[in-house]
Structure 1
Amino acid sequence: MDLTAPVDIYCERLDASFWSEPLNAVSNAAFILAALWAAFEARRRRLHWPSIWLLIVLAALIGVGSFLFHTFATGWSALTDVLPIWGFVLAYALISIAHLGGVAPRRIAFVLAALVALGVLFWIALPAPDPAQAPVPRAPDRFNGSGQYLPAVIAMVIWSVIAVARRHPVRWWFVAATGTFMLSLSLRTYDIALCDVWPYGTHVFWHLLNGTMIALLLQALIRNTNKETSP
Protein backbone atom coordinates (compact mmCIF):
# COMPACT_ATOMS: atom_id res chain seq x y z
CA MET A 1 0.00 0.00 0.00
CA ASP A 2 1.37 3.38 -1.06
CA LEU A 3 0.86 5.59 1.99
CA THR A 4 1.29 8.77 -0.06
CA ALA A 5 -1.00 7.86 -2.96
CA PRO A 6 -4.13 10.01 -3.27
CA VAL A 7 -7.47 8.39 -2.41
CA ASP A 8 -10.62 9.50 -4.24
CA ILE A 9 -13.64 7.32 -3.45
CA TYR A 10 -16.27 9.87 -2.46
CA CYS A 11 -18.66 11.92 -4.51
CA GLU A 12 -17.78 15.26 -2.93
CA ARG A 13 -14.07 15.09 -3.84
CA LEU A 14 -13.36 16.53 -7.30
CA ASP A 15 -9.58 16.95 -7.04
CA ALA A 16 -6.64 16.14 -4.75
CA SER A 17 -6.62 19.49 -2.91
CA PHE A 18 -6.75 19.67 0.90
CA TRP A 19 -10.24 21.22 1.23
CA SER A 20 -11.96 19.31 -1.56
CA GLU A 21 -14.35 17.57 0.87
CA PRO A 22 -15.55 20.37 3.17
CA LEU A 23 -18.82 18.68 4.18
CA ASN A 24 -17.17 15.32 4.79
CA ALA A 25 -14.42 17.02 6.80
CA VAL A 26 -16.52 19.33 8.98
CA SER A 27 -19.18 16.70 9.71
CA ASN A 28 -16.62 14.80 11.77
CA ALA A 29 -17.47 17.22 14.55
CA ALA A 30 -20.31 14.78 15.29
CA PHE A 31 -17.79 12.33 16.79
CA ILE A 32 -16.17 15.05 18.89
CA LEU A 33 -19.58 16.11 20.20
CA ALA A 34 -20.42 12.49 21.04
CA ALA A 35 -17.17 12.20 23.01
CA LEU A 36 -17.81 15.50 24.82
CA TRP A 37 -21.35 14.45 25.78
CA ALA A 38 -20.02 11.13 27.07
CA ALA A 39 -17.25 12.88 29.03
CA PHE A 40 -19.77 15.26 30.59
CA GLU A 41 -22.08 12.39 31.58
CA ALA A 42 -19.22 10.27 32.93
CA ARG A 43 -17.93 13.15 35.08
CA ARG A 44 -21.44 13.94 36.29
CA ARG A 45 -21.85 10.33 37.40
CA ARG A 46 -18.30 10.24 38.79
CA LEU A 47 -17.25 7.33 36.61
CA HIS A 48 -13.47 7.23 36.54
CA TRP A 49 -12.91 3.74 35.18
CA PRO A 50 -10.11 3.75 32.54
CA SER A 51 -12.18 1.53 30.23
CA ILE A 52 -14.95 4.13 29.98
CA TRP A 53 -12.49 6.93 29.27
CA LEU A 54 -10.67 4.79 26.72
CA LEU A 55 -13.89 4.58 24.71
CA ILE A 56 -14.42 8.33 25.01
CA VAL A 57 -10.90 9.01 23.72
CA LEU A 58 -11.36 6.54 20.84
CA ALA A 59 -14.62 8.25 19.88
CA ALA A 60 -12.80 11.59 19.66
CA LEU A 61 -9.96 9.98 17.69
CA ILE A 62 -12.47 8.71 15.14
CA GLY A 63 -13.41 12.32 14.44
CA VAL A 64 -9.78 13.45 14.24
CA GLY A 65 -8.71 10.54 12.03
CA SER A 66 -11.66 10.89 9.68
CA PHE A 67 -11.00 14.64 9.39
CA LEU A 68 -7.42 13.90 8.35
CA PHE A 69 -8.59 11.37 5.79
CA HIS A 70 -11.16 13.67 4.21
CA THR A 71 -8.67 16.52 3.94
CA PHE A 72 -5.34 14.89 3.06
CA ALA A 73 -7.02 11.89 1.35
CA THR A 74 -3.92 9.67 1.18
CA GLY A 75 -3.02 6.15 2.19
CA TRP A 76 -1.54 7.17 5.54
CA SER A 77 -4.55 9.32 6.42
CA ALA A 78 -6.81 6.38 5.53
CA LEU A 79 -5.11 4.47 8.35
CA THR A 80 -5.86 7.29 10.80
CA ASP A 81 -9.49 6.91 9.75
CA VAL A 82 -9.82 3.12 9.93
CA LEU A 83 -7.73 2.23 12.99
CA PRO A 84 -9.68 4.29 15.58
CA ILE A 85 -12.98 2.97 14.18
CA TRP A 86 -12.04 -0.66 14.60
CA GLY A 87 -10.31 0.10 17.86
CA PHE A 88 -13.57 1.52 19.17
CA VAL A 89 -15.59 -1.45 17.84
CA LEU A 90 -13.33 -4.01 19.50
CA ALA A 91 -12.97 -2.07 22.74
CA TYR A 92 -16.70 -1.38 23.04
CA ALA A 93 -17.55 -5.04 22.44
CA LEU A 94 -15.19 -6.24 25.17
CA ILE A 95 -15.91 -3.45 27.65
CA SER A 96 -19.68 -3.67 27.27
CA ILE A 97 -19.52 -7.44 27.88
CA ALA A 98 -17.60 -6.77 31.09
CA HIS A 99 -19.65 -3.81 32.34
CA LEU A 100 -23.13 -4.81 31.23
CA GLY A 101 -22.83 -8.58 31.04
CA GLY A 102 -20.87 -9.07 34.23
CA VAL A 103 -18.23 -11.25 32.55
CA ALA A 104 -14.86 -11.34 34.33
CA PRO A 105 -12.19 -9.30 32.53
CA ARG A 106 -9.69 -12.18 32.58
CA ARG A 107 -12.15 -14.36 30.66
CA ILE A 108 -12.58 -11.64 28.07
CA ALA A 109 -8.80 -11.25 27.82
CA PHE A 110 -8.47 -15.02 27.26
CA VAL A 111 -11.05 -14.97 24.44
CA LEU A 112 -9.37 -11.94 22.86
CA ALA A 113 -5.96 -13.62 22.99
CA ALA A 114 -7.43 -16.74 21.39
CA LEU A 115 -8.98 -14.71 18.57
CA VAL A 116 -5.72 -12.87 17.93
CA ALA A 117 -3.81 -16.16 17.90
CA LEU A 118 -6.26 -17.66 15.41
CA GLY A 119 -5.95 -14.59 13.20
CA VAL A 120 -2.15 -14.82 13.22
CA LEU A 121 -2.25 -18.54 12.41
CA PHE A 122 -4.68 -17.90 9.56
CA TRP A 123 -2.42 -15.18 8.18
CA ILE A 124 0.65 -17.46 8.40
CA ALA A 125 -1.23 -20.28 6.67
CA LEU A 126 -2.13 -18.14 3.66
CA PRO A 127 -0.12 -19.10 0.57
CA ALA A 128 2.53 -16.58 -0.45
CA PRO A 129 1.76 -14.74 -3.70
CA ASP A 130 3.66 -15.86 -6.78
CA PRO A 131 5.67 -12.85 -8.02
CA ALA A 132 5.74 -14.36 -11.53
CA GLN A 133 1.96 -14.37 -11.74
CA ALA A 134 0.34 -11.22 -13.09
CA PRO A 135 -2.11 -9.59 -10.67
CA VAL A 136 -5.78 -10.00 -11.47
CA PRO A 137 -7.57 -6.66 -11.98
CA ARG A 138 -10.04 -5.94 -9.22
CA ALA A 139 -13.68 -5.54 -10.09
CA PRO A 140 -15.43 -2.35 -8.95
CA ASP A 141 -16.77 -2.59 -5.40
CA ARG A 142 -20.54 -2.38 -5.71
CA PHE A 143 -20.80 -1.62 -1.98
CA ASN A 144 -18.22 1.21 -2.08
CA GLY A 145 -16.17 -0.39 0.71
CA SER A 146 -19.12 -0.75 3.09
CA GLY A 147 -18.82 -4.53 3.21
CA GLN A 148 -16.06 -4.24 5.82
CA TYR A 149 -18.68 -3.05 8.32
CA LEU A 150 -20.94 -6.09 7.94
CA PRO A 151 -19.51 -7.83 11.06
CA ALA A 152 -20.30 -4.70 13.09
CA VAL A 153 -23.89 -4.69 11.80
CA ILE A 154 -24.33 -8.35 12.69
CA ALA A 155 -22.87 -7.82 16.16
CA MET A 156 -25.14 -4.84 16.87
CA VAL A 157 -28.23 -6.72 15.72
CA ILE A 158 -27.32 -9.65 17.98
CA TRP A 159 -26.69 -7.33 20.95
CA SER A 160 -30.02 -5.59 20.37
CA VAL A 161 -31.98 -8.85 20.12
CA ILE A 162 -30.38 -10.23 23.30
CA ALA A 163 -30.92 -6.96 25.17
CA VAL A 164 -34.60 -6.81 24.17
CA ALA A 165 -35.17 -10.49 24.95
CA ARG A 166 -33.67 -10.03 28.42
CA ARG A 167 -35.36 -6.66 28.94
CA HIS A 168 -31.99 -5.14 29.74
CA PRO A 169 -32.05 -1.40 30.59
CA VAL A 170 -29.83 -0.65 27.57
CA ARG A 171 -32.14 -2.36 25.07
CA TRP A 172 -33.68 0.74 23.51
CA TRP A 173 -30.33 2.50 23.38
CA PHE A 174 -28.94 -0.47 21.44
CA VAL A 175 -31.97 -0.71 19.16
CA ALA A 176 -31.75 3.01 18.34
CA ALA A 177 -27.99 2.76 17.73
CA THR A 178 -28.43 -0.28 15.47
CA GLY A 179 -31.15 1.39 13.38
CA THR A 180 -29.05 4.53 13.07
CA PHE A 181 -26.01 2.53 11.95
CA MET A 182 -27.95 0.59 9.33
CA LEU A 183 -29.29 3.84 7.86
CA SER A 184 -25.86 5.48 7.88
CA LEU A 185 -24.26 2.43 6.22
CA SER A 186 -26.87 2.53 3.45
CA LEU A 187 -26.10 6.20 2.80
CA ARG A 188 -22.36 5.48 2.73
CA THR A 189 -22.88 2.66 0.24
CA TYR A 190 -24.85 4.78 -2.23
CA ASP A 191 -22.58 7.83 -2.06
CA ILE A 192 -21.01 7.35 -5.51
CA ALA A 193 -24.18 5.98 -7.09
CA LEU A 194 -26.12 9.14 -6.21
CA CYS A 195 -23.53 11.65 -7.44
CA ASP A 196 -25.64 12.62 -10.44
CA VAL A 197 -28.63 13.27 -8.21
CA TRP A 198 -26.82 14.89 -5.25
CA PRO A 199 -23.36 16.15 -6.27
CA TYR A 200 -22.25 16.70 -2.65
CA GLY A 201 -22.65 13.00 -1.90
CA THR A 202 -24.23 11.21 1.04
CA HIS A 203 -21.05 10.44 2.99
CA VAL A 204 -21.63 13.49 5.16
CA PHE A 205 -24.72 11.75 6.58
CA TRP A 206 -22.58 8.69 7.35
CA HIS A 207 -20.55 10.90 9.68
CA LEU A 208 -23.51 12.65 11.27
CA LEU A 209 -25.45 9.44 11.86
CA ASN A 210 -22.42 7.50 13.05
CA GLY A 211 -21.63 10.27 15.50
CA THR A 212 -25.18 9.85 16.76
CA MET A 213 -24.77 6.08 16.95
CA ILE A 214 -21.55 6.33 18.97
CA ALA A 215 -23.19 8.86 21.28
CA LEU A 216 -26.06 6.41 21.91
CA LEU A 217 -23.68 3.51 22.57
CA LEU A 218 -21.57 5.54 24.99
CA GLN A 219 -24.61 6.85 26.84
CA ALA A 220 -26.02 3.31 27.09
CA LEU A 221 -22.82 2.13 28.75
CA ILE A 222 -22.25 5.15 30.98
CA ARG A 223 -25.85 5.39 32.24
CA ASN A 224 -25.98 1.68 33.07
CA THR A 225 -22.58 1.18 34.67
CA ASN A 226 -22.39 0.70 38.41
CA LYS A 227 -19.42 2.77 39.54
CA GLU A 228 -19.06 0.66 42.67
CA THR A 229 -18.76 -2.74 41.01
CA SER A 230 -17.62 -2.23 37.41
CA PRO A 231 -14.20 -3.57 36.39
Structure 2
Amino acid sequence: MPESWLTPIDSYCERLAPGFWAEPLNALTNGAFILAALYGLALWRRAGGRDWPALWLIAVTFIVGTGSFLFHTFANRWSLLADVLPIAVFIYSYFLLALRRYLQLRPIASLMATVLFVAFNMLFDRLWFSVYPGVTLNGSVGYLPAALAMLTVGSLCLFLRVKEPGRALLLAAGVFVLSLAFRSVDSSVCASVPVGTHFLWHMLNALVLGILMRASIVHVSYKRPPHVPG
Protein backbone atom coordinates (compact mmCIF):
# COMPACT_ATOMS: atom_id res chain seq x y z
CA MET A 1 0.00 0.00 0.00
CA PRO A 2 1.44 3.45 -0.94
CA GLU A 3 2.78 5.40 2.03
CA SER A 4 0.35 8.28 1.36
CA TRP A 5 -2.58 5.97 2.17
CA LEU A 6 -1.05 5.45 5.62
CA THR A 7 -0.74 9.17 6.38
CA PRO A 8 -2.22 9.74 9.86
CA ILE A 9 -5.35 11.87 10.20
CA ASP A 10 -6.15 13.73 13.42
CA SER A 11 -9.58 15.34 13.07
CA TYR A 12 -11.30 14.99 16.45
CA CYS A 13 -10.86 16.14 20.04
CA GLU A 14 -10.56 12.65 21.46
CA ARG A 15 -7.45 11.77 19.45
CA LEU A 16 -4.42 13.22 21.22
CA ALA A 17 -1.80 10.89 19.75
CA PRO A 18 -1.39 8.08 17.20
CA GLY A 19 -2.62 4.69 18.27
CA PHE A 20 -5.35 2.14 17.57
CA TRP A 21 -7.33 2.98 20.74
CA ALA A 22 -6.63 6.72 20.80
CA GLU A 23 -10.35 7.38 20.18
CA PRO A 24 -12.14 4.82 22.37
CA LEU A 25 -15.52 6.62 22.48
CA ASN A 26 -15.47 7.46 18.78
CA ALA A 27 -14.51 3.88 17.97
CA LEU A 28 -16.84 1.97 20.27
CA THR A 29 -19.96 4.06 19.58
CA ASN A 30 -19.88 2.68 16.05
CA GLY A 31 -21.51 -0.32 17.68
CA ALA A 32 -24.71 1.76 17.47
CA PHE A 33 -24.68 1.24 13.70
CA ILE A 34 -24.34 -2.50 14.18
CA LEU A 35 -27.30 -2.46 16.59
CA ALA A 36 -29.30 -0.44 14.05
CA ALA A 37 -28.48 -3.01 11.38
CA LEU A 38 -29.55 -5.87 13.67
CA TYR A 39 -32.78 -4.00 14.46
CA GLY A 40 -33.40 -3.59 10.74
CA LEU A 41 -32.67 -7.26 10.14
CA ALA A 42 -35.18 -8.29 12.82
CA LEU A 43 -37.85 -6.09 11.21
CA TRP A 44 -36.95 -7.43 7.78
CA ARG A 45 -37.33 -11.04 8.86
CA ARG A 46 -40.59 -10.28 10.66
CA ALA A 47 -41.90 -8.69 7.44
CA GLY A 48 -41.26 -11.86 5.46
CA GLY A 49 -37.57 -11.60 4.55
CA ARG A 50 -38.07 -10.93 0.85
CA ASP A 51 -37.56 -7.19 0.58
CA TRP A 52 -34.15 -7.15 -1.10
CA PRO A 53 -33.74 -3.36 -1.37
CA ALA A 54 -34.34 -3.09 2.39
CA LEU A 55 -31.85 -5.89 3.02
CA TRP A 56 -29.31 -3.93 0.97
CA LEU A 57 -29.81 -0.92 3.27
CA ILE A 58 -29.33 -3.17 6.31
CA ALA A 59 -26.08 -4.54 4.89
CA VAL A 60 -24.81 -1.05 4.06
CA THR A 61 -25.63 0.11 7.60
CA PHE A 62 -23.50 -2.71 9.00
CA ILE A 63 -20.67 -1.67 6.67
CA VAL A 64 -21.07 1.97 7.76
CA GLY A 65 -20.40 0.93 11.35
CA THR A 66 -17.44 -1.21 10.35
CA GLY A 67 -15.91 1.46 8.13
CA SER A 68 -16.29 4.18 10.75
CA PHE A 69 -14.72 1.91 13.36
CA LEU A 70 -11.73 1.39 11.06
CA PHE A 71 -11.32 5.13 10.60
CA HIS A 72 -11.47 5.95 14.30
CA THR A 73 -8.89 3.28 15.09
CA PHE A 74 -6.43 3.35 12.17
CA ALA A 75 -7.12 7.07 11.45
CA ASN A 76 -5.41 7.32 8.08
CA ARG A 77 -6.33 7.98 4.45
CA TRP A 78 -7.40 4.48 3.44
CA SER A 79 -9.60 4.10 6.52
CA LEU A 80 -11.13 7.52 5.77
CA LEU A 81 -12.42 6.05 2.51
CA ALA A 82 -13.77 3.06 4.43
CA ASP A 83 -15.66 5.58 6.55
CA VAL A 84 -17.14 7.97 3.98
CA LEU A 85 -17.89 5.70 1.01
CA PRO A 86 -20.47 3.44 2.74
CA ILE A 87 -22.25 6.54 4.08
CA ALA A 88 -22.50 7.91 0.54
CA VAL A 89 -23.80 4.54 -0.72
CA PHE A 90 -26.52 4.54 1.94
CA ILE A 91 -27.57 8.13 1.16
CA TYR A 92 -27.89 7.56 -2.57
CA SER A 93 -29.48 4.14 -2.19
CA TYR A 94 -32.12 5.46 0.19
CA PHE A 95 -32.83 8.48 -2.01
CA LEU A 96 -33.52 6.16 -4.94
CA LEU A 97 -35.65 3.84 -2.81
CA ALA A 98 -37.69 6.76 -1.42
CA LEU A 99 -38.47 8.07 -4.89
CA ARG A 100 -39.61 4.65 -6.06
CA ARG A 101 -41.31 3.36 -2.91
CA TYR A 102 -42.85 6.46 -1.37
CA LEU A 103 -43.30 8.89 -4.27
CA GLN A 104 -43.81 6.01 -6.72
CA LEU A 105 -41.85 7.58 -9.55
CA ARG A 106 -41.06 5.44 -12.57
CA PRO A 107 -37.65 3.72 -12.60
CA ILE A 108 -36.11 6.03 -15.22
CA ALA A 109 -37.37 9.16 -13.46
CA SER A 110 -36.07 7.87 -10.12
CA LEU A 111 -32.64 7.10 -11.58
CA MET A 112 -32.39 10.48 -13.31
CA ALA A 113 -33.38 12.31 -10.12
CA THR A 114 -30.81 10.31 -8.16
CA VAL A 115 -28.07 11.16 -10.67
CA LEU A 116 -29.00 14.84 -10.35
CA PHE A 117 -28.86 14.53 -6.56
CA VAL A 118 -25.40 12.95 -6.77
CA ALA A 119 -24.25 15.82 -9.01
CA PHE A 120 -25.73 18.39 -6.61
CA ASN A 121 -24.02 16.69 -3.69
CA MET A 122 -20.66 16.74 -5.46
CA LEU A 123 -20.98 20.44 -6.29
CA PHE A 124 -22.44 21.50 -2.95
CA ASP A 125 -19.11 22.20 -1.22
CA ARG A 126 -18.13 24.62 -3.97
CA LEU A 127 -21.51 26.36 -3.83
CA TRP A 128 -21.40 26.57 -0.03
CA PHE A 129 -17.90 28.02 0.19
CA SER A 130 -18.67 30.56 -2.53
CA VAL A 131 -21.39 31.94 -0.24
CA TYR A 132 -19.85 31.13 3.18
CA PRO A 133 -16.05 31.13 2.68
CA GLY A 134 -14.22 29.69 5.65
CA VAL A 135 -17.34 28.22 7.27
CA THR A 136 -16.38 24.52 7.26
CA LEU A 137 -18.67 23.24 10.03
CA ASN A 138 -15.78 20.97 10.98
CA GLY A 139 -16.12 19.01 7.75
CA SER A 140 -19.90 18.60 8.00
CA VAL A 141 -20.83 20.71 4.96
CA GLY A 142 -20.87 17.67 2.68
CA TYR A 143 -23.70 16.13 4.72
CA LEU A 144 -26.09 19.07 4.36
CA PRO A 145 -27.52 17.81 1.03
CA ALA A 146 -28.62 14.60 2.78
CA ALA A 147 -30.56 16.67 5.32
CA LEU A 148 -32.10 18.73 2.52
CA ALA A 149 -33.06 15.55 0.67
CA MET A 150 -34.86 14.09 3.70
CA LEU A 151 -36.69 17.37 4.30
CA THR A 152 -37.67 17.70 0.64
CA VAL A 153 -38.81 14.12 0.04
CA GLY A 154 -40.51 13.97 3.43
CA SER A 155 -42.43 17.18 2.70
CA LEU A 156 -43.43 15.90 -0.74
CA CYS A 157 -44.70 12.71 0.87
CA LEU A 158 -46.90 14.69 3.25
CA PHE A 159 -48.12 16.92 0.39
CA LEU A 160 -49.11 13.80 -1.55
CA ARG A 161 -50.71 12.33 1.60
CA VAL A 162 -48.16 9.56 1.89
CA LYS A 163 -48.24 10.37 5.56
CA GLU A 164 -46.33 7.71 7.46
CA PRO A 165 -43.20 7.65 5.26
CA GLY A 166 -43.27 11.46 5.18
CA ARG A 167 -43.36 11.68 8.96
CA ALA A 168 -40.55 9.16 9.25
CA LEU A 169 -38.36 11.13 6.83
CA LEU A 170 -39.00 14.42 8.63
CA LEU A 171 -38.27 12.81 12.00
CA ALA A 172 -35.04 11.37 10.60
CA ALA A 173 -34.15 14.79 9.17
CA GLY A 174 -34.64 16.42 12.58
CA VAL A 175 -32.44 13.87 14.34
CA PHE A 176 -29.87 14.16 11.55
CA VAL A 177 -29.66 17.95 11.92
CA LEU A 178 -29.04 17.48 15.65
CA SER A 179 -26.35 14.88 14.94
CA LEU A 180 -24.72 17.25 12.43
CA ALA A 181 -24.66 19.95 15.10
CA PHE A 182 -22.69 17.68 17.45
CA ARG A 183 -20.34 16.70 14.60
CA SER A 184 -19.79 20.36 13.70
CA VAL A 185 -18.93 21.64 17.18
CA ASP A 186 -16.51 18.84 18.07
CA SER A 187 -13.33 20.82 17.40
CA SER A 188 -14.59 23.96 19.12
CA VAL A 189 -15.41 22.32 22.46
CA CYS A 190 -12.12 20.45 23.01
CA ALA A 191 -11.03 22.74 25.84
CA SER A 192 -14.21 22.21 27.85
CA VAL A 193 -15.12 18.69 26.65
CA PRO A 194 -11.83 16.81 26.04
CA VAL A 195 -13.56 13.75 24.53
CA GLY A 196 -15.41 15.99 22.11
CA THR A 197 -18.90 15.45 20.73
CA HIS A 198 -18.22 13.35 17.65
CA PHE A 199 -19.35 10.17 19.41
CA LEU A 200 -22.85 11.69 19.66
CA TRP A 201 -22.87 12.00 15.86
CA HIS A 202 -22.41 8.23 15.71
CA MET A 203 -25.20 7.45 18.15
CA LEU A 204 -27.73 9.87 16.69
CA ASN A 205 -26.81 8.99 13.12
CA ALA A 206 -27.37 5.31 13.91
CA LEU A 207 -30.83 6.32 15.14
CA VAL A 208 -31.40 8.12 11.84
CA LEU A 209 -30.52 5.01 9.85
CA GLY A 210 -32.75 2.93 12.10
CA ILE A 211 -35.70 5.26 11.47
CA LEU A 212 -35.08 5.20 7.73
CA MET A 213 -34.71 1.43 7.56
CA ARG A 214 -37.86 0.91 9.58
CA ALA A 215 -39.78 3.18 7.22
CA SER A 216 -38.49 1.30 4.18
CA ILE A 217 -39.55 -2.06 5.64
CA VAL A 218 -42.87 -1.13 7.25
CA HIS A 219 -44.02 0.90 4.26
CA VAL A 220 -42.79 -1.42 1.51
CA SER A 221 -46.33 -1.88 0.20
CA TYR A 222 -47.48 1.65 0.93
CA LYS A 223 -50.01 2.91 -1.61
CA ARG A 224 -51.27 6.42 -2.02
CA PRO A 225 -54.97 7.06 -1.47
CA PRO A 226 -56.75 6.53 -4.79
CA HIS A 227 -57.92 10.16 -5.00
CA VAL A 228 -54.34 11.50 -4.96
CA PRO A 229 -53.05 12.04 -8.50
CA GLY A 230 -49.96 10.09 -9.50
Q: Is the 8 A contact 2:103 2:157 kept in 1?
A: no
Give the structure-2-normalised TM-score. Answer: 0.83
Provide, for residues 49-82 of structure 1, a one-character-per-residue CA deviation record: whole Å limited to 9, x for no partner: 3211111111111000000000000000000000
Q: Deviation of residue 192 (structure 1)? A: 0.7
Match of 2:85 in 1: 83
Please list, as runs of the form range in 1=range in 2, the aligned pairs for 1:1-231 lying within 5 A after superposition. 2-112=4-114, 142-167=136-161, 168-226=163-221
Q: Deviation of residue 22 (structure 1)? A: 0.4
- The alignment yields a C-alpha RMSD, in angstroms, of 2.3
Provide, for residues 125-177 of structure 1, a one-character-per-residue CA deviation record: whole Å limited to 9, x for no partner: xxxxxxxxxxxxxx976411011111111111112222333332222211211
State the alpha-carbon separation in 1 of the partners of residues 11 and 20 from structure 2.
Answer: 15
Distance verdict in 2 for CA 1:114–1:161, change over 3 Å: closer
Unpaired runs of at least 5, structure 2: 124-132, 223-230
Give the structure-1-normalised TM-score. Answer: 0.83
For the pair shown, the structure with the greater C-alpha radius of gyration is: 1
2:188 partner SS: coil
1:191 partner SS: helix
Q: Percent identity?
A: 38
Moved more, 6-15 or 40-49: 40-49
Match of 1:125 in 2: none
Of structures 1 and 2, the one scoring higher in RCO (CA 8 A, sep 6+) is 1
Distance verdict in 2 for CA 1:193–1:113, change over 3 Å: closer
Distance verdict in 2 for CA 1:155–1:114, change over 3 Å: closer
Structure with the larger helix share: 2
State the alpha-carbon separation in 2 of the partners of residues 200 and 111 from structure 1.
Answer: 40
Paired residue total:
208
